[in-house]
Amino acid sequence: MIKNGVGRWIPKSYTPFVSDDDFKSKKRKQVKKASSGETIFLQSLSEVFNKLNIKDGMTLSFHHHYRNGDHLLNMVAKEIVKRNLKNITLAPSGIFPVHEPIIPLLLNKNVTQIVTNYVSGPVAESISRGDLEKVLIMDTHGGRARAIEAGDLNIDIAFIAASAVDKKGNANGVDGKNPCGPLGYIIPDVLYAKHKVVVTDTIVSSLTTTEINGNDVDYVVTVNAIGDSSGIETGTTQMTRDPVQLKIARDTVRLLKDLDVIQNGFSFQTGAGATSIAVSHYLKDEMEKRQLKGRFVSGGITAKIVELFESSYFAELYDVQSFDLTAVNSYKNNQKHHFMDASLYANPFEPNNIARQLDVVILGAAEVDLDFNVNVTTSSTHQLIGGSGGHSDTAYEAKLTVITTNLFKSRIPFIRQRVQTVSTPGSSVDVVVTERGIAINPKRTDLIEKLKDSQLNIVTIDELYQLVTQITGQPKSISTSDKIIGLIRYRDGTIIDTIREVKK
Amino acid sequence: MKIFRTAGSYESNDCLVTVTKADGLTIEIESVVFEEFGDQIYAVALETLKQLKATNMHVHIKDKGALDYTIRARIKTAVKRLGDIRA
Amino acid sequence: MRKSLLFIPANQPGMLQNVDIFQADGIIFDLEDAVHLTEKDAARDLLKSFFNSVELKDVEAIVRIHHLDDIPAIINPRLDTICLPKADLEGLKKLNRALSTYERKYRLSKKIGVIALIETPESILNALAIAKAPRVNGILLGGEDLSTSLHVMRTVEGKEIEFARNMVIYAAKSAEIDAIDTPFTNVEDNKGLETDILHAKALGMNAKACIHPNQIELVNRLFMPSLTEIEFAKKVVIAMENAEKQGLGAFTVDGKMVDQPVITRALQVLKASEGYEDD
């Protein structure tokens, strides 16, 4: 094993992570783009499997824009089982509880490898138990785009769920009876996969917008229902009433104020969790008070962000995925609500990527340590619970990265001496906001200087750690098995940490 | 039918303590944070029972992330309710 | 001068562990209405254990007792104030005696104060005597119970408690103690809360009790002097300092003569606005 740039041991055969800006010294690698002929319309997935001669060992990719309402991955899985294919690699950009039916494919070695950006639910538990034969590879959203264009992730067939397709094979995620929003994550697959199959439940005479060009599509298949729109809602879109979350959100906006970040023309991104929605709410109040207008807001889009946008607090909106139907509708109807593909969003080698233009990003954490490293991949009991998504990408690229987190919950501390798993390195993180104090990364002397007269409770990360230990007591560290069941591939292709099997 | 009393609740950040008259003194712990804090909870329980001069009871703690001072208080209340101790 | 006091059920550990982050001036740990009769013992044990383990910095620790017997169970060096429900002169006398006894017994270095919660028509009429009773440093109006005693509905508009509010205010100001308004019970209605606070403030209340942490921010903010008041107060102080330098007795601000009450008020305003972030 070799020690990498964040002090983690990784297997010798992989390239170790050096630093979050090491990619600057590397050259962009792009393999040849795939070509397609005329789009052929087929009757069933079975026909596709026959026509493309899908066999053992192939890599099949998918997007996760239907989130927990996805049907396609399970449909393809059924086909794999019917033909008793073996050693398939699945490369969906995200895996959700709805994908539980693929677990038998892991156990029976129909599927022996998975490459993804996010995995939660029963499949995550299954992989944590060691059911996947080969090592799980977890990319970031930007990293997956890079891996595909560089040939690190070699896709044989990309299965693309689309809510509507026209007669020429052009497709999008907004028309039709089951819209899911912009299909940002599958664009690299469309450009580089050997074969592209669009699957839909609605053929129209004309689309309101083209996200995928029919020239890039080999086959189109129509099924009954491509996905369940209601399944894209990740949780509540209502504002939280939890006083702790509200305090964190209020203090976060006060921090942005004290740092003079909230100005005309600024750009902003946050996630879909309860705290993020509350932050957006308080940000709106602040911008309303000072009659400000930001340049753009980006990311995975929720109704709260749409509210900010539609009330003209931001001039443009860049959308890589929709977290609810309000976002989908805004994208459909508003000219300035733009489509953003995964590479344009966060590929480190994309020179003007949107993340790089961000003034501030507000992110969450499952754990933060004394070096400001963040874990969003494993839980306190070493279970796989998610993955970076766009976390590492935006954390590095944005000018100011703020992590919001409880100090502790149900006695479990969120500030640790050392995170279990490094998802995002501390060098990308600038500020940690908890309900009991705000810590600034010591290397950001400029922020420390700017906040010296602030009324906020600014402390060191060590003080936060001492405080939480005082409150909860010192937790015993949970031992893991030695078996590595997953690798966390940083956005530049190097390995930043490993995931261990949970002890039975 | 064994004589027993309870105190606390199985709500988040609380614990439900059940004390039952028995021979000797035994402590049983179930906790949502057992791996991280099981030993700590046991130590706090033992110390509290010692201070109360508790004897001849089985103490069952069903914990949902209670901090030390809550565990101490719930044990004290349960033991007092059981009536053996004049605390 | 207090601005915000938050009621917390004393028997809920999940609430106790967050009292330091709510930014209320004081926390009222409630052993009375928020705790079921069969759980009073558990609440007392929990509160005592909490006080033994946790130091509350910058937050006043107040306990609303259910019965005088609660005092020996929860008395400790970190206790600042007792809130006496259904306070009347007799009850305050007994409480004073009990507190003196236990302060001596446990050799406490500080004198525990009392907030008198007045919730009956007779106590309202006796507000002045209550305000002047030993240890009493605040009167809290109990609007819900009072309305019940008056056989009227408690309303958002609050006409039924207007007289009581005035009595509390006049009594508190005569005794130079805090006049604390009754809680606004609809925790979902922020607009209603704002109207209620401004109304109470205009009458002369200087603080309000809260029943949910989400009410505190509004209470803290609105009981602060307004920017206009602060600007004027600053002008008065500067003009006063200048007048003193020039050896002048009387002086004007914005064309108006400034006399002692205006100066005193200006100093009060500046003191009340200390340490709070401006918006």
Q: Express each pLDDT in A267-282 by its tens digit.
A: 999 988 889 999 999 9
Q: For the residues of A73-118, what is the DSSP string, one character each?
A: HHHHHHHHHHTT--SEEEEES-B-GGGGGGHHHHHTTSEEEEEES-
pLDDT for the residue numbered B84 = 53
Among chain C residues, CA nearest to B14: C13
- Identify the bridge partners of residue A9 per DSSP, sorted by sequence position: A3
pLDDT for the residue numbered A383 = 87
Among chain A residues, CA nearest to C54: A471
Distances (CA, A) of B76 to A142, B48, B49, C46: 55, 7, 8, 9
Contact C214 A244 (CB under 8 A): no
Please give the average per-residue pLDDT across C117-145, as a whole number.
97
A285-303, pLDDT tens digit by residue?
A: 999 999 999 999 999 898 9
Kindly report which listed range (A169-183, A471-485, C265-279) carries the lowest average pLDDT score. Answer: C265-279
Q: Is B42 on the interface with A (CB under 8 A)?
A: no
Chains near C with 3+ CB pairs less than 8 A apart are A, B
* Residue A462: count of CB within 10 angstroms of its CB: 12
* Residue A121: count of CB within 10 angstroms of its CB: 16
pLDDT for the residue numbered C278 = 47
pLDDT-above-70 percentage for chain A: 99
CATH of span B4-82 = 3.30.230.10
Non-local (6+) Cβ contacts of B47 within 8 A are none
Angle in degrees, CA A419, A424, A429, rounded to 5: 100
Contact A250 C22 (CB under 8 A): no
- Identify the bridge partners of residue B28 per DSSP, sorted by sequence position: B60
- Identify the bridge partners of residue A221 per DSSP, sorted by sequence position: A42, A199
Angle of helix A303-310 relative to helix A325-333, nearest 10 degrees? Answer: 40
Q: How many CB pairs under 8 A join B and C?
A: 48
Please give the average per-residue pLDDT across C121-126, as a whole number.
97
Among chain B residues, CA nearest to A413: B36
Question: Residue A494's pLDDT band (boundaries 50, 70, 90)?
Answer: very high
For chain C, list the domains and their CATH numbers.
4-223 (3.20.20.60), 227-272 (no CATH)
Secondary element (H or E) of residue A136: strand A136-138
Q: Are A48 and A39 in contact, with CB atoms under 8 Å apart?
A: no
Interface of C with A (CB under 8 A): 17-18, 20-23, 212-214, 217, 276-277, 279
Rounded to the nearest 10°, the torsion over CA C4, C5, C9, C13 is 70
Chain B residues near residue C48 by CB distance under 8 angstroms: 73
More confident site: A351 or A234: A351
Nearest to C17 among B11, B67, B81 (CB): B67
Chain A residues near residue C213 by CB distance under 8 angstroms: 243
A347-381, pLDDT tens digit by residue?
A: 999 999 999 999 999 999 999 999 999 999 998 88
More confident site: A332 or A236: A332
pLDDT for the residue numbered A166 = 95
Q: Are C252 and C209 in contact, with CB atoms under 8 Å apart?
A: no
Q: What is the mean pLDDT of chain A?
A: 94
Please give the average per-residue pLDDT across C174-180, as a whole number.
96
Chains near A with 3+ CB pairs less than 8 A apart are B, C
Contact B77 C41 (CB under 8 A): yes
Please give the average per-residue pLDDT across A422-429, as a whole number.
98
Alpha-carbon dihedral sign for residues A350, A356, A361, A366? positive
Closest C-alpha among A197, A178, A147 to residue A66: A178
Tell whether the model's pLDDT for residue C279 goes beyond 80.
no
Among chain B residues, CA nearest to A410: B65
Q: Are C78 and C49 in contact, with CB atoms under 8 Å apart?
A: no
A136-187, pLDDT tens digit by residue?
A: 999 999 999 999 999 999 999 999 999 999 999 999 999 999 999 999 999 9
For tokens 């509290």, the residue is B48
Tell whether the model's pLDDT for residue A436 goes beyond 50.
yes
Give pTM, 2 decimals: 0.92
Rounded to the nearest 10°, the torsion over CA A117, A122, A123, A127 is 100
Please give the average per-residue pLDDT across A214-240, as a whole number.
87
pLDDT for the residue numbered A236 = 61
* ipTM here: 0.95
The rounded distance, in Å, linking the Cα atoms of B61 and B75 is 8
To the nearest whole Å, the CA of B38 is away from the closest chain A CA by 9
Which burial class, exposed, middle or buried, applies to C226 when counting CB atoms under 10 A from its CB (0-12, 13-18, 19+)?
Answer: exposed
The rounded distance, in Å, linking the Cα atoms of C46 and A243 is 22
The rounded distance, in Å, linking the Cα atoms of A66 and A119 is 14
C158-172, pLDDT tens digit by residue?
A: 999 999 999 999 999
pLDDT for the residue numbered A237 = 65
Chain B residues near residue A412 by CB distance under 8 angstroms: 33, 36, 65
Non-local (6+) Cβ contacts of C55 within 8 A are C78
Nearest to A410 among B40, B65, B68 (CB): B65
Domain ranges of chain B: 4-82
pLDDT for the residue numbered B86 = 47
Q: Return phi, psi of residue B53, to 5°.
A: 55, 40
Q: For the residues of chain C, what is the DSSP string, one character each?
A: ---EEEEEETT-HHHHTTGGGS--SEEEEESSTTS-GGGHHHHHHHHHHHHHH---SSSEEEEE-SSTTHHHHH--TT--EEEETT--HHHHHHHHHHHHHHHHHTT-SS--EEEEEE-SHHHHHTHHHHHHSTTEEEEEE-HHHHHHHTT----SS-GGGHHHHHHHHHHHHHTT-EEEEPPP--TT-HHHHHHHHHHHHHHT--EEEESSGGGHHHHHHHTSPPHHHHHHHHHHHHHHHHHHHTT-S-EEETTEEE-HHHHHHHHHHHHHTTT----
To the nearest whole Å, the CA of C149 is away from the closest chain B CA by 35
pLDDT for the residue numbered A235 = 63
Please give the average per-residue pLDDT across A245-251, as a whole number.
96
Non-local (6+) Cβ contacts of C255 within 8 A are none
For A275, the 3-state DSSP assignment is helix
- Interface mutation vs chain A, best among B36, B47, B64, B67, most A CBs within 10 Å: B36
A287 is written with which tokens?
């911008």
Closest C-alpha among A342, A260, A277 to residue A91: A342
pLDDT for the residue numbered C275 = 54
Kindly report which listed range (A200-204, B1-5, B77-81, C47-51) carries the lowest average pLDDT score. Answer: B1-5
Please give the average per-residue pLDDT across A242-258, as a whole number.
96
Please give the average per-residue pLDDT across B19-31, as a whole number.
95
Contact C217 A250 (CB under 8 A): yes
Q: Are A198 and A162 in contact, with CB atoms under 8 Å apart?
A: yes
Angle of helix C227-245 relative to helix C260-272, nearest 10 degrees? Answer: 130
Chain B residues near residue C52 by CB distance under 8 angstroms: 69
For chain A, list the domains and their CATH numbers.
31-233 (3.40.1080.10), 243-479 (3.40.1080.10)
Chain C residues near residue B70 by CB distance under 8 angstroms: 13, 16, 46, 49-50
Distances (CA, A) of A238 to A21, A241, A278, A303, C187: 38, 9, 9, 9, 16
Angle of helix B68-82 relative to helix B34-51, nearest 10 degrees? Answer: 50
Q: Are A436 and A466 in contact, with CB atoms under 8 Å apart?
A: no
Please give the average per-residue pLDDT across A410-435, as a whole number.
97
b or e along A434-454 (b: 16 or more beta carbons within 10 Å of the residue's beta carbon)? bbbbbbbbeebeebeeebeee
For A124, the 3-state DSSP assignment is helix
To the nearest whole Å, the CA of B17 is away from the closest chain A CA by 17
The rounded distance, in Å, linking the Cα atoms of A41 and A221 is 6
Kindly report which listed range (A50-59, A135-144, A243-252, C230-239) carries the lowest average pLDDT score. Answer: C230-239
pLDDT-above-90 percentage for chain C: 79
The rounded distance, in Å, linking the Cα atoms of B70 and B76 is 10
Alpha-carbon dihedral sign for residues A105, A107, A113, A115? positive
Q: Are A457 and A434 in contact, with CB atoms under 8 Å apart?
A: no
